Amino acid sequence: IVKGNLFAKFMEYTDVEVDGFVEADSAINCNVVSNDKVIFNGGHASIVGGKVYGCAGIEVQNLGNDAFIKTEVHVGVHKKIKIKIAELEKLVEQMLLNNINSGIKQIEQMMGSAADGMNLEEKKLALVRAKIEKTAELTEDKEELERLEGIVERSTGATVQVLEHVYPNVEVCINNSKLVTKEEFDKIEFKEKDKAVVMLSMK
C-alpha cells in the first residue's frame, strides 16, 4: 500500500494499492488500485492482463495485446468504496445517537446521585472524559468518510482513454457498467452514457 503517488517503470505480477495517482510505463498481469488517475505513458506503454482500477480515470497507449489476454480496467466508484461509505455513515449516525442517549442517561444518574450526597463535580468530569473519547472516535470516522467522499467526487466523469490500440478481450468497467471488446480499435475513449459503456473515436 502506497500512501502518496506511485511512479514506476515496468510492473509485472504484482498487487499495489495507491492513495494517489499512478504513473508507469506498463503493467503485465498486475492488480493495481488507485484512488486517483492511472497514466501509462511512453512509446509502447500498455496494460496487459490483470486488473487496473483508477477512480479518476485511466490513460494508456495500448490496452490488451494481440494474444487477446483478458485485461480488465475499471474507473469510477469502486464497489468496495460504496460499501465502506455506507458502513461509515451508519456507524457515525449510530455513534451520534449513542452519545446523546449515553449523555442523557449519565446526567439522569448524576441528578439522582446528587441527592444521595455524591460528588457532582466528579460525575461531571467522568462525563466530560467519556465525551472526549467518543468525540475522538467520531472525528476519526468522519475524516475517513470525508476521504472516501473525496474519492467519489474525483471519480465523476471518469473515462478510459486509449491513445494507440485496444485489443479484443478487454473488459472496461465504468461505475456499474461494463463492455468487453470483440475486435481491435485505435485511439478510443470509453465513457459511460445512459448506464452503458460507449466507445468514442479520438482520431
Does the CA dihedral 73-77-81-83 come out positive or negative?
A: negative
Determine the pLDDT at residue 117.
Answer: 46
**pLDDT score, position 38:** 95
Burial of 160 (0-12, 13-18, 19+ CB in 10 A): buried
Inter-residue contact 28 to 130 (CB < 8 Å)? no
Instruction: Extract the C-alpha cell encoding 163.
Output: 491513445
Q: What value does the CA radius of gyration of the chain take, rounded to a whole number of Å?
A: 25
Is the pTM above the cut of 0.75?
no
Q: Which of 176, 196, 191, 156 is nearest to 79 (CA)?
A: 176
What pLDDT tens digit does each residue of the chain (203 aa) get? 778 899 988 899 999 999 889 999 999 999 999 989 999 987 779 999 999 999 999 999 999 999 999 999 999 987 777 888 888 888 777 766 566 556 656 655 665 655 544 566 666 666 667 666 767 777 787 888 888 888 888 888 899 999 999 999 999 999 889 999 999 999 999 999 988 999 999 87
Residue 26 burial by Cβ neighbours in a 10 Å radius (0-12, 13-18, 19+): buried
- C-alpha closest to that of 22 among 50, 35, 31: 35
Which residue from 202, 155, 149, 201 is spatially nearest to 176, judged by alpha carbons? 155
